[in-house]
Structure 1
Amino acid sequence: MADQEACSRIEQRSVIKFLVAEGCKPVEIHRRMSTVYGATCFSRKNVYKWAKLFKEGRSSVEDEDRPGRPTEVRSPEVIESVIDLIQSDRRVTVDDIARTLSLSVGTAHKIVHDDLGYSKVSCRWVPKMLTPEHKQRRVELSQQCLCRYEKDGDEFLKKVVTCDETWVWHYEPESKRQSMEWKHVGSPVKKKFKSQRSTRKVMLTVFWDMQGPITISFLEKGSTVNSANYCELLRQVKKDIKNKRRGHQSEGVILHHDNARPHTAARTVQTINELGWELLPHPPYSPDLAPSDFHLFGPLKAFTRGTKFESDDEVKSVVSDWLRHQSKDFYAEGIRKLVHRWEKCVTVLGDYV
């Protein structure tokens, strides 16, 4: 079919060339050709174009070679050149690759993603650049906890009471991702204006286990988180465990918290011993191994984002209700994730999981 179309084009151009040589005008040429070729005849514009070319001295009725790209550009040599560009600059863009190698952006994109399997990702933010000593400590403590879990299973996890502190702001703008909503093609585009979070905030401290929150506490205005306040809070937690977790006291409590100064002070360690609790070891600079950080506070902050609280009491009420209304499965999942994270910490040789 394609060959027939090419022959038809060349044939009609030959006719135009002959009639131009006879001195026919383009309008007459198009009329005569329409009578012969019917629906397959060149358009008036095309007839005029070729009549003008032949009148100006063109002799060939064939298509001229076009200076375009070759059909096959995803050759091994081109792919190798793309690899060299990426390895020399990991931040090079697809547009830069296309421009450098004289490729179309679509072809460059196919080579990078389909042929080479590359994908561009952002760097991962981590709390601290861990030293070899930090990594070794993380591996050792993770292995200790895994050995304990292999020995006691879920009975070990059921004894774990974890805690941490976090700020809850009176207003924190919702993230761009949170503002996403379904939009029809004809719907107007919504705008989102930049806003800053408030300066007013409340310090939350929460103790929880596999069954849910045990103690929810908010720091009073003018107070600071220090060893004295934390020890008083630990004594309150013991009372709450006695009231809310009957039998838990006799089974033993394994307290898990991070290495903040109030948690590691000599007075705090003494209080934990007086309470008869065991302390679960936690490596420094390791929020990725703290259930409150990797499981609890994220959903809580997502819930409060975009809400404007008028007072500290309103913040306390909303946060307390949210914590109490999460299911037991939610809290149990957070504690059980510790096992996977300890395993992964060992696998990656102490790096962040």
Structure 2
Amino acid sequence: MLQFEQRANIKFMCKLGKSASETLSALQQVYGDTALKKSAVYDWFSRFKNWQETLEDDQRSGRPSTSRTEEMIGKVRQLIRCDRRMTIAELEQEVGISHGSIHAILYHDLKMRLVSAKFVPRQLTMDQMECRMMVADDLFDKSTQDPTFLKKIVTGDESLVFAYDLETKMQSSEWHTASSPQPKKSRLVRSKDKVMLTAFFDICGLVHHEFLSPGQTFTGNFYMQVLQRLRDAV
């Protein structure tokens, strides 16, 4: 490792009778930004000057040098499975190891990442999910039994249509040389004029569409009228 290589060089400079400042200057000249810090160089120079021979760190009492044991990894895994919102600080208090060790266990040993929840329009209940699965299975069975089934499907949706759409950054891009002036455009806001569009499609394309009249409210009764007009169009 690079740190042991530099420690060996510090030991060599010390035995040559060089000073700690000369040793630091030589390391910075050779290793640049990866050179040991001044405090580390002076500490190891002092150790070798006092006849220390080993390049290894001193043995530390108390907590072992590593806490990433199989037992500890399993304990952290179990805690996370029970509560996936536990923070590293909470895990640190629970298992009694350092913040860095828990971080290493989560990211390197358990291959976990902290993922934010994704916003969705609504959360489905178990009954709703089962109902959707039954409908999907039914549609799949019909599509395999009837080759013309997809031609009979009509789907629709609603969307707000604005008087004009803002130009995107990509749409306003132009080809220029390095010496050309940068193009400019004024800042625009989305149109305040808008109308609700309801459109229905089948396998061939648009089947029926209509705009919501000014002052009209999109209610269940109104949607029934839209479906009746769709039926007539089909």
Q: TM-score, normalised by structure 2?
A: 0.54
Q: 1:128 to 1:11 in 2, by over 3 A?
A: closer
User: Which residue number in structure 2 is paired with residue 192 of structure 1?
Assistant: none
Instruction: Measure the CA separation in 2 of the matches of 1:70 and 1:120.
Output: 28
The reply to whether residue 207 of structure 1 matches residue 203 of structure 2 is no
| Conserved? CA contact 1:167–1:202, under 8 Å | yes
| Conserved? CA contact 2:10–2:23, under 8 Å | no
State the Cα distance separating 1:44 from its structure 2 match: 3.7
Q: For 2:154, what is the secondary structure of its paired residue?
A: strand
Instruction: Measure the CA separation in 2 of the matches of 1:96 and 1:228.
Output: 54
Instruction: Measure the CA separation in 2 of the matches of 1:88 and 1:233.
Output: 48
Instruction: Measure the CA separation in 1 of the matches of 2:227 and 2:190.
Output: 29
Q: For 1:143, what is the secondary structure of its paired residue?
A: helix
The reply to whether residue 101 of structure 1 matches residue 97 of structure 2 is yes
User: Which residue number in structure 2 is paired with residue 156 of structure 1?
Assistant: 149
| Conserved? CA contact 1:215–1:237, under 8 Å | no
Gaps of 5+ in 1: 14-32, 35-40, 175-195, 242-353
The residue type equivalent to 2:144 in the other structure is E
User: Which residue number in structure 2 is paired with residue 224 of structure 1?
Assistant: 217
State the Cα distance separating 1:237 from its structure 2 match: 6.3
User: Which residue number in structure 2 is paired with residue 142 of structure 1?
Assistant: 136
State the Cα distance separating 1:42 from its structure 2 match: 4.8
Instruction: Measure the CA separation in 2 of the matches of 1:76 and 1:117.
Output: 15
Summarize the alignment of residues 249-260 of structure 1 with structure 2, pairs less than 5 Å apart. Answer: none
Instruction: Measure the CA separation in 2 of the matches of 1:110 and 1:42.
Output: 39
Q: 1:80 to 1:232 in 2, by over 3 A?
A: closer
Instruction: Measure the CA separation in 1 of the matches of 2:106 and 2:194.
Output: 47
State the Cα distance separating 1:156 from its structure 2 match: 0.2
Instruction: Measure the CA separation in 1 of the matches of 2:225 and 2:83.
Output: 53
| Conserved? CA contact 2:166–2:190, under 8 Å | yes
The reply to whether residue 76 of structure 1 matches residue 70 of structure 2 is yes
| Conserved? CA contact 1:207–1:237, under 8 Å | no
State the Cα distance separating 1:209 from its structure 2 match: 1.2
The residue type equivalent to 2:114 in the other structure is K
Instruction: Measure the CA separation in 2 of the matches of 1:172 and 1:74.
Output: 56
User: Which residue number in structure 1 is paired with residue 106 of structure 2?
Assistant: 112
| Conserved? CA contact 2:88–2:99, under 8 Å | no
State the Cα distance separating 1:111 from its structure 2 match: 2.1
State the Cα distance separating 1:162 from its structure 2 match: 1.2
| Conserved? CA contact 1:214–1:237, under 8 Å | no
Instruction: Measure the CA separation in 2 of the matches of 1:72 and 1:229.
Output: 66
State the Cα distance separating 1:102 from its structure 2 match: 0.9
Instruction: Measure the CA separation in 2 of the matches of 1:94 and 1:171.
Output: 49
> What are the Cα deviations for residues 120-168 of structure 1, in whole angstroms up to 9, with x where unaligned?
3334535244253x44433433333222112103x10111111232334
Higher normalized helix content (fraction of residues): 1
| Conserved? CA contact 1:168–1:202, under 8 Å | yes
Q: 1:144 to 1:103 in 2, by over 3 A?
A: closer
State the Cα distance separating 1:79 from its structure 2 match: 1.2
State the Cα distance separating 1:204 from its structure 2 match: 1.3
Summarize the alignment of residues 233-248 of structure 1 with structure 2, pairs less than 5 Å apart. Answer: 234-235=228-229, 238-239=232-233
State the Cα distance separating 1:207 from its structure 2 match: 0.7
Q: 1:128 to 1:221 in 2, by over 3 A?
A: same
Q: For 1:205, what is the secondary structure of its paired residue?
A: strand
User: Which residue number in structure 2 is paired with residue 61 of structure 1?
Assistant: 51
State the Cα distance separating 1:6 from its structure 2 match: 4.8
Q: 1:92 aligns with which of 86, 91, 110?
A: 86
Q: 1:149 to 1:83 in 2, by over 3 A?
A: same
The residue type equivalent to 1:102 in the other structure is S
> What are the Cα deviations for residues 86-135 of structure 1, in whole angstroms up to 9, with x where unaligned?
2353112346546852142xx54442133223333334535244253x44
The residue type equivalent to 2:116 in the other structure is S
| Rg (Cα) greater in structure | 1
Instruction: Measure the CA separation in 2 of the matches of 1:81 and 1:229.
Output: 56
> What are the Cα deviations for residues 185-212 of structure 1, in whole angstroms up to 9, with x where unaligned?
xxxxxxxxxxx98875421100101222
